Amino acid sequence: MKNCFKKIIYFIKEHYLMLVLGLLLSLIIFAPLLVFPWVIGKEYQGININAFGTDAHFYLTRGKEALEGHNLGSAVTREGKNEKDLYLSYSDYILLAPVKILGFGQSVNIVTLYNIYNFIGIFVLILLIYFFSLEMSGNKLLSLAAAVFTVGGYSIVYNKALFYNSFNIYARVLYPYFSSIALFLYLNFLARSINSSSLKYKVYSALVFGAMFYIYFYGWSFVLILNGCLFLIYFLKKDYAGLKKILFISLFGLAIGAYNLIRLFGLMFSSTEMDRQIAYFSWMSLGRAPIFSKIGFGALALFLIFWHQRRNDKNIPLILAIILAGWIALNQQIITGRMLQYGHYYWYFIVPLSIVIGFYMFGRLVNREKLKFYALVSLIGVAFLNTAVGQYRSFFTTLEPKRYEQNYRPFIDYLNKVVEPTVIFAEQTDNYLFTIFTPHDLFWNQIVTISRVPIDRFKDTLFIYYFLNKDSRGNFQEYLSQIAGDNRARGTYYQVLYRNLEGYWSGHDFYTYQKKLINSDAGLASRRPEVIAQLAKEYEEAIKDGGINKIFDKYGVKYLFWDKNNNPEWDLSGIKGLKEVVAHNNIYLYELN
């Protein structure tokens, strides 16, 4: 016990500056979340979610589902929730395992829990980047600057501007902080295994690599490419000791990840209609067009200078492998012909890793210690200033939407008294709040498009929303004809519902369809009247004789939520059996009998 205590004290003394600055940076990143209740005062009703579009809301919903013991085939609908997760990720279960083991699963507020995890995760990530850089460089100040700037200065590199008007990306639930922790934990063990003959670091590296297969697709696939590049570099250098290490790590890791890898191949090469539907709405595209990365090019250019000046540096193989892995990950479609959402590689791996290795190469290239010291201290200061000002500015961009979310509290409280889980029909603005804070499901959210639901569900959804809209209810074909191809109306929800169908039926992949829309493609335009006419015919059939109520019954809808402030165009007069149960600030919840 005494030895353990002594080690902790020694660790704190050795790295106290990193611990202090890492904690301070984490607090600044989380400041908008911490001060929000204080800013809005009495209006605060306990709804406080980091604002990153709807991504954070989606991952919170997944967490809520996992707490309730469901699979994650569909996080928001009653149908499909106990099917296999198409993301093939167990991150939610990993994070929630301690809570469930301790028996707190049913009493935990998922938002509070994930916010705590997120804060700790950012701090841990900063430490992991620091120790990875320290393992490579042996320089504490350089490692401190690399870690702080990677997290706090990310937006400077990515957006090429100071004080960008957007929250620090690492404050987002659940990714990228969790996948980044796995990546830098792996890199720490990998760097140590390269510099050591000890078996334990190779085993640790393999275990983390194998675990990544169950955390994040883009994470393990990037590391697999990285390992392949490192293997090839060692082979060309005839460094057989290094080659054996990376081969051991890769094969052992692949063996651990084999279960999920086999499942992935099963999904990729399945050719059912449902699989083609999932591929379209997952934005998978076909093609072999190369992708150019400015940051990747800058890192490669700096490496060439570094190699010329420091070609005997022990870390050259690892640095070159990291750079090459970024280029290959972005351009794997040249070989496979399938392009994934490649931005994830760029945002979460190429940018931060380019910063880390950039700091290392800078530190080794600059020989004047005083200049290096002032440069690194200045960059630490810039990272903190960028974070503080950026978080402050971004806070006010989401203040009013977050304030408005507090209006949902009376409805959430009422629905939490409904013991038996049911289905809620709601408009799209904030309907994730019901899946996060109540045990109930939604009739529809755009995320349903990447669940295994039949295309008829898409049509039923379109019919209900168009029926509720008093401008389109009795004028379906004309209304749809007006907005379907109008790029000025792009983004309106009624248009999105139609384009879900037109895009999938077009036979093109998602990106090709979007390009054709932007360019007012004649082929799409010529087919559109036929598509709209067919939908109009089905719509008329669906709504007659109380058909809308039948659709609600079909999907188990028990409650209808109407925010008149966001959807003044709705008209509920055509729906039978509505009973108002809660009203607040021009917002209404109805029970369907």
Q: Is the pTM of this model over 0.85?
A: yes
Dist CA 515 CA 523 (whole Å): 12
Output DSSP code: residue 84: P
The average pLDDT across 158-172 equals 88
Structure token digits, residue 347: 């945002």
Mean pLDDT value across residues 102-131: 92
Q: 3-state SS of 420-476?
A: CCCEEEECCCCCHHHHHHCCCEECCCHHHHHCCCCHHHHHHHHHHHHHHECCCCCCH
* pLDDT higher than 70, residue 270: no
Which ranges in 284-368 belong to alpha helices (H)? 294-309, 316-330, 333-336, 343-345, 351-365
The better pLDDT of the pair 105, 87 is held by 87
| Phi and psi angles of residue 346, each rounded to the nearest 5 degrees, phi first | -70, -50
| Residue 333 confidence class, pLDDT cut points 50, 70, 90 | confident
Residue 279: exposed, middle, or buried by beta-carbon count in 10 A (0-12, 13-18, 19+)?
buried
* C-beta separation of 225 from 342 below 8 A: no
What is the structure's pLDDT at 488? Answer: 62
Range 332-339 average pLDDT: 79
Q: Check pLDDT > 70 for residue 489.
A: no
% of the chain exceeding 90 in pLDDT? 72
- Supply the pLDDT for residue 268: 65
Predicted confidence (pLDDT) per residue in 468-485, tens digit:
999 999 899 999 999 888
Residue-level pLDDT at 183: 97
Helix, strand, or coil (residue 196): coil
* pLDDT value at 1 more than 70: no
Q: Is residue 70 over pLDDT 90?
A: no
> What are the tens digits of pLDDT across the range 219-257?
999 999 999 999 999 999 999 999 999 999 999 999 999
Residues in CB range of 107: below 8 A, 6 or more apart: none
The pLDDT, as a whole number, for residue 286 is 74
- Helix/strand/coil for 163: coil
- Identify the pLDDT of residue 469: 94
Percent of the chain residues past pLDDT 70, beyond the cut:
98
What pLDDT sits at residue 182?
97
What pLDDT shows up at residue 221?
Answer: 94
pLDDT beyond 60 at 491: no
Q: What mean pLDDT is predicted for residues 498-525? A: 90
**Average pLDDT of 315-327?**
96
Q: What is the mean pLDDT of the chain?
A: 92
